[in-house]
Amino acid sequence: MRVFTAKGFRTAVISDVAEALGLSHGAVYTYAESKHALLYLALMHELDPAAVQELEAPVATPHPDEIVDLVRKWAAREQILNELSDVLIRPVQTTENPVRLELETIVDQLYDFIERHRTTLQLVERCSAELPELAQWYFVESRRGMLARLGEFLTARIEARMLRPVPDVPVAARFIVETIAWFAMHRHGDADSAMLTDEDCRRTVHHLVPAAFLRAD
């Protein structure tokens, strides 16, 4: 996982993995018969550890769709994503101050998911740029789908005068997701952010992101 995340799928080679493991180049092939098999094994180790024990060595080269199915099934099992989707498609409510709670729920659940699975998401994001089938799932089906639902949520609340107008809704949706993603995931690779604690980041994002959209009244 470290090798693929750092170098990407296309640039990484078997000898890079062998060196990281302290093995010879040839020894790696006793565990996985190709680079695609290594990626599949790395993802399964992270997403479904129990299933790794059922694999036979060397792990056979999977079809690209098998790699995508592994990630798709993992995402489907994540209850937090289902709960987040429920909030995003919920009709406009008229109870006292519901939109603040909705925004806080969106921020907290998305932050929690990204923070808990940041190593997996970094690996998938890094390799998606070089594997078309994975890119279709990650960028088109998942991320763009999430941004579209978030944009629909913002539009409905703005039209109901529950949130302040924004210059561009798609950009506003991207602002929310990327702000959360940077503090929950990407800052861990930034040496200049080492002094930021997890709790301080979480509390600040929880406070500031909803506040950016709430009406003054």
Bridge partners (DSSP) listed for residue 32: 59
Q: Is 187:196 a contact under the CB 8 Å cutoff? A: yes
Report all structural domains of the chain as residue ranges with CATH numbers, in order of start: 2-52 (1.10.10.60), 64-211 (1.10.357)
Burial class of residue 57, CB neighbours in 10 A (0-12, 13-18, 19+): exposed
Q: What pLDDT was estimated at residue 84?
A: 84
Token pair of 171 as six digits: 């950009």
Average pLDDT, the chain: 92
* Number of CB atoms found within 10 A of residue 168's CB: 10
User: What average pLDDT score do residues 121-138 get?
Assistant: 92
Residues 23-72: tens digit of each pLDDT: 999 999 999 999 999 999 999 999 999 999 899 999 999 998 999 999 99
Residues 74-116: tens digit of each pLDDT: 988 887 778 888 888 888 876 666 899 999 999 999 999 999 9
Q: What pLDDT was estimated at residue 82?
A: 80
User: What average pLDDT score do residues 184-195 get?
Assistant: 92
CA atoms within 13 A on the CB side of 22: 0
Q: What is the pTM of this model?
A: 0.89
* d(C-alpha 39, C-alpha 209), whole Å: 35
Q: Which 3 state secondary structure label does DSSP give 99?
A: helix
